Amino acid sequence: MRKPVKSTFGFCPCCGKRTLFVAFDHWLRDAYKCVRCRSIPRQRAIMSVLDARCGNWKNLDIHESSPCGSTFDRMKKECANYSYSYFYPDKKLGEVIGEGGKVTNQNLQELTFPDNSFDLFITQDVFEHLNEPEKALKEIFRCLKPGGMHVFTVPIYPFLETRPRIKIEDGRVVPIMEEQYHGNPISEKGSLVTYDWGGDIARVMDSVAGFKTEVIEFQDSRENHRMGLEADFLQVVVSTKP
């Protein structure tokens, strides 16, 4: 039987229960899981921020792009006005693809929702895969109500300036750096990493779309350890529409 590289008893923000967090790999960002709901650190980080900053989120209009995992399970169960979307290039944008109209085909760069539709817009590890993230930022800003928030995770390299890993030529994606892929629940090939987000991420978000952005870091503390909030690249970005 394999021996875990890390294990801690604590409380999971995703399933809301006392639990054991266990990792069998040193890359905690993907391996450090709650034994009850199988959440990973970034999902627990998102839920801890929503619970702390938006205690009434269960009553809000929420949309999530490309959801998965235990945050998805909790949102569907507890928020009556939660909707979500995936992007299928071969389907019509806005097309209903499941669950009584709550699941639609959406391209973050060309959202079909009306202005001022949502209180919260959630993305988890999506913005490093967009070809034109500035378009997505403007679209999310448009679809949020005044005072609404885009709450999201993305790998942040604090000593870099944000930089593209691709360019667009004649409508085609052309890599300008070595290709990297991350897992994708609807694609066996995975998703190409198109951007490296740097320590200037808040400035970029605000200058492109008019957000007021805060990057929340999870410090080394007993409380964070108790909630399984330990991993590299563990930040939650909160961009608020004034």
Note whether residue 144 is domain-resident. yes
What pTM, to 2 d.p., does this model score?
A: 0.94
| Domain carrying residue 211 | 6-240
Q: What is the pLDDT along the chain (242 residues), one digit of tens a residue?
A: 778 999 999 999 999 999 999 999 999 999 999 999 999 999 999 999 999 999 899 999 999 999 989 999 999 999 999 999 999 999 999 999 877 677 999 999 999 999 999 999 999 999 999 999 999 999 999 999 999 999 999 999 999 999 999 999 988 899 999 999 986 655 566 789 999 999 999 999 999 999 999 999 999 999 999 999 999 999 999 999 99
Note whether residue 188 is domain-resident. yes
Note whether residue 1 is domain-resident. no
Note whether residue 79 is domain-resident. yes
Strand blocks (E) in the chain = 6-11, 18-23, 33-34, 62-65, 82-86, 96-98, 103-105, 118-124, 144-153, 156-157, 163-164, 166-169, 172-175, 181-184, 187-192, 195-198, 212-217, 235-240
3-state helix, strand, coil in the chain (%, to 5): 25, 35, 40
User: Across the strands, what pairs with 98?
Assistant: 103
pLDDT in tens, 167-199: 999 888 999 999 999 866 555 667 899 999 999
Q: What's the confidence (pLDDT) of residue 188?
A: 64
pLDDT in tens, 77-97: 999 999 999 999 999 999 998
- Total domain count, the chain: 1
For strands 18-23 and 6-11, give the pairing: antiparallel
Note whether residue 125 is domain-resident. yes
Quick one: residue 2, left, alpha or beta (phi over 0 = left, psi -120 to 50 = alpha)?
A: beta
CATH of the domain at 188: 3.40.50.150
C-alpha to C-alpha distance for 80 and 98, rounded to whole angstroms: 16
- Per the prediction, the chain carries an average pLDDT of 94
